Chain A
């Protein structure tokens, strides 16, 4: 058994949480455990049905009584799975008798009705302890978890019963009403119909086999949870992990120290030389000779107070809420005061005439409230649709929604056409040759955007990126829309190319070749030739 191979997270759990973990674990490996429980039990019930067809009740009782015998195989399987060496259902079935060797008589006699069966079973099956050793072990384990184990068993018993009844009701619900009307209930209730009894037995067997893995694994997880608590498995796993990391780190440190390539060393020296040429502020206080000294120095600093400052903040603070909200407005209080006064006056009147007329008394304020509701509703409706109402009243139809305003800057570039020089290409090439590559290509890109916006009515919102703008252009080229000016294929291609070059230069500092800039300028002139 290797604790580090544990398939569940080792942490301290309450008994209930251990049971929950058992449910989750059983759910994951349910099918093989179900089969391993069902097959031996069915192999017993089958012959019993053959030899004693008249005693369905006793046959089922025999299977039920031998539950501890069948429980061992699922327990054996899940324990192997939990520690990383899973066994197949077939292999588990072959081990049936071997697993049942320890204490089998005790389990089907005096311990059969033990309420902590699932919790105690692992001590027998996995630890193979008997007699005094077992009693001592159980005593230690039971100190904290026996209550939960008992409740687990009780819940299991009830669930099996309820599931059986539920299964019958489910079947009954599916029988047509004409048929159910003719059923004679008396013999059924008295248990005089053998066939039904055997059907019930089979159902019961299936339900027992279905519930058993959950019960067994929950008990097993209780046992594991208790052992994690008693033996500190969580600490052990973490410590082993830490040591492993530590050893790996030491191993990896050695080869890098010795085997650094000469090229890297030269490069590093060059970098250091460059760095030392430029005047930098003195970042260290004293020079340390050897790595050991440096290490000690680091350790000293790390152990100092600066790296171990703990600040504890606790307690609830109220956020700064708007104090206006939540307060009852003054006018509402006034209204209610007035209402109550008015009410009491009316009550006096009612008193004068003929006792208290509660109906009339209540009707007045309700009527008032309803009127207030109607008026508020009307005002709300008017306010909600005031635009539509105003529009319909006005004689001439309102101008359609304002045309989206062309932006003045995009990506920090001024894209108004007025800001462009008269001969864009000449300016671009001049800047490029002068060495100001960013300004040059930037101007070309800016001019393109500005022409696209002003001549082709493109709307580039603030939220778009450069490539999204280019996508818009190619989209219009592929599917031109009615009113907008169409975009030619070369233009779309040019925009894509320019955008790519501009992105490369602007963000990656990778300028295009000189010839390509020339090409781009030429293309620009061709594409936007008829605009000028």
Chain B
């Protein structure tokens, strides 16, 4: 089964799962960062125009620092998110999914130079596209990874049901599917929901509206509701 998830097992036997972010959102996030940087530099340039040669020197130093340390600063001190990455819900982590460290961040950003060659990050884009976890060369060298940040689930309105205990032999995946059916009661059409509920007829021995009601009742039990 093809998927873009990235799995790590901790020594305690806990499976951590992250969703690796591919080239398109990363390129766009980078574009947003470039936009911000240009904005800052343009503002600085206008501000320093009055200081003549000294202003030019300060501007050049600032542009150097912005180019190389703007991402490092945000990645380490702002939870792995530069403003561009934040806009797209991305974050940089070490490849064991721990927060990124100074060393790794500096390495991955200095190696942007290698990814840039021969022009406009062509190497980086190709490496990202071909790599298993969408890592560019800098990521590979620093052992880092760009993943989607999990967003907090907002509480949603669920249809009114009296919770019923699930039948036996429901694995975790099945339970998740039932919960998903309940949670998506607004997004899926009523007919489609009944059609899905009918699939389970051999187990529930119900059809149509009754089957759907029953599955919803089981789903709300699984979500912690008790009649």
Residue numbers of A with Cβ under 8 A of B are 7-9, 11-12, 14, 16-17, 19-21, 23-25, 27-28, 151-152, 155, 159, 162-163, 165-166, 169-170, 173, 214, 218, 229-232, 234-236, 238-243, 245-247, 249, 299, 302-303, 308, 310
Whether the pair A169, B22 counts as a contact (CB closer than 8 A) is: no
The CA of A214 and the CA of B24, in the complex, are separated in Å by: 10
**Chain A contacts of B177 at CB under 8 A?**
234-235, 238-239, 242
Whether the pair A236, B199 counts as a contact (CB closer than 8 A) is: yes
Chain B residues touching A, majority SS: mixed
The CA of A12 and the CA of B21, in the complex, are separated in Å by: 15
The CA of A294 and the CA of B196, in the complex, are separated in Å by: 32
Give B116's nearest chain A residue, CB to CB: A166
How close is A424's CB to chain B, nearest CB, in angstroms?
47
Give A14's nearest chain B residue, CB to CB: B148
**Chain B contacts of A163 at CB under 8 A?**
122
Whether A155 contacts B1 in the complex (CB less than 8 A), given A169-B118, A230-B188, comes out as no
Q: Of B4, B129, B169, B176, which is within 8 A of A17 by CB?
A: B4
The CA of A236 and the CA of B197, in the complex, are separated in Å by: 9
Q: Of B2, B199, B203, which is within 8 A of A24 by CB?
A: B2
Q: Of A19, A235, A239, A303, which is within 8 A of B24 by CB?
A: A19
Q: Of B120, B180, B200, B221, which is within 8 A of A242 by CB?
A: B200
Given contacts A23-B24, A155-B28, A235-B196, 7 further A-B contacts (CB under 8 A): A9-B3, A16-B89, A20-B4, A24-B2, A232-B188, A239-B200, A243-B203
The CA of A230 and the CA of B22, in the complex, are separated in Å by: 24
Cβ-based interface call for B50 (8 A): no
Query: Which residues of B from 89 to 106 have beta carbons under 8 Å from A?
Result: 89
**Chain A contacts of B113 at CB under 8 A?**
none
How close is A154's CB to chain B, nearest CB, in angstroms?
9
The CA of A214 and the CA of B119, in the complex, are separated in Å by: 20
Number of A-B contacts (CB under 8 A): 130
Give A245's nearest chain B residue, CB to CB: B169
Cβ-based interface call for B23 (8 A): yes
Whether A162 contacts B4 in the complex (CB less than 8 A), given A236-B196, A236-B199, A242-B174, comes out as no
Size bracket of the B interface:
35 or more
**Chain A contacts of B202 at CB under 8 A?**
243, 246-247
The CA of A417 and the CA of B21, in the complex, are separated in Å by: 67
**Chain A contacts of B23 at CB under 8 A?**
23
Whether the pair B125, A19 counts as a contact (CB closer than 8 A) is: no
Query: Which residues of B from 172 to 202 have beta carbons under 8 Å from A?
Result: 173-174, 176-177, 180-181, 184, 187-188, 192-193, 196, 199-200, 202
- Residue contacts A-B, CB under 8 angstroms, 19 given: A8-B2, A12-B180, A20-B21, A20-B22, A23-B129, A24-B3, A163-B122, A166-B120, A229-B187, A232-B188, A232-B196, A235-B180, A235-B184, A239-B200, A242-B177, A246-B203, A299-B168, A308-B165, A308-B221
Whether the pair B199, A17 counts as a contact (CB closer than 8 A) is: no
**Chain B contacts of A152 at CB under 8 A?**
24
**Chain B contacts of A235 at CB under 8 A?**
177, 180-181, 184, 196
Cβ-based interface call for B73 (8 A): no
The list of the 9 closest CB pairs from A to B, nearest first, reads A20-B22, A238-B177, A166-B122, A162-B120, A166-B119, A303-B165, A9-B3, A239-B199, A16-B25
The CA of A231 and the CA of B177, in the complex, are separated in Å by: 13
Cβ-based interface call for B69 (8 A): no
How close is B191's CB to chain A, nearest CB, in angstroms?
11
Whether A230 contacts B2 in the complex (CB less than 8 A), given A23-B129, A235-B177, A299-B168, comes out as no
How close is A168's CB to chain B, nearest CB, in angstroms?
8
